[in-house]
Amino acid sequence: MTAPAKTNRACIPPRSKASALPRRKRARTAFRQRDVTRALKGVVKAGFGPIWRIQINPDGAIVIEIGKPGTQDQAVQEGNEWDAV
């Protein structure tokens, strides 16, 4: 009988506790800078007035408010006839 052949196995050191934990992935971004740029260019190209404020909601919705701060539409200032009732 012949002796069994030796196999060459690499000795893998045990994992440290830090490497045993799963790696955390980054959350997917809700918006990108180019999305905001496109929205602003679209507003300017459409000919709307000055941009007052840009708001980006947590869900990624981009809200652009147009006009001067503190001004409201005429209908909002006057109110509704049913408000006095």
Please tell me the predicted confidence (pLDDT) of residue 73: 55
Q: What is the 3-state secondary structure (H, E, C) of 65-81?
A: EECCCCCCCHHHHHCCH
Given a cut of 80, whether residue 28 has pLDDT beyond it is no
Backbone angles phi, psi at 63, to 5 degrees: -115, 125
Backbone angles phi, psi at 12, to 5 degrees: -100, 120
The Cα 55–Cα 33 span in angstroms is: 13
Domain locations along the chain: 32-72
Q: Is the pTM of this model over 0.75?
A: no
Q: How confident is the model at residue 40 (pLDDT cuts 50, 70, 90)?
A: very high
State pLDDT tens for residues 6-25. Answer: 555 555 555 555 555 677 77
The Cα 76–Cα 80 span in angstroms is: 8
